[in-house]
Amino acid sequence: MEPITQEMREKAVSLERMADAHIKVSKGHRFVDVHTREEAVRLLAQFGQGFPSNQEFKNYTIGPRLTWRMLKSFAAKLFNAISNP
What's the pLDDT tens digit per position in 25-72?
A: 876 678 888 999 999 999 999 988 888 777 888 888 888 898 989 999
pLDDT tens digit sequence for 66-76: 898 999 999 99
Q: Return the closest-CA partner of residue 70 out of 84, 55, 60, 81.
A: 60
Predicted confidence (pLDDT) at residue 8 exceeds the cutoff of 70: yes
Q: What pTM value is reported for the model?
A: 0.84
C-alpha 26/C-alpha 79 separation (Å) is 24
The domain segmentation of the chain, as residue ranges, is 3-83
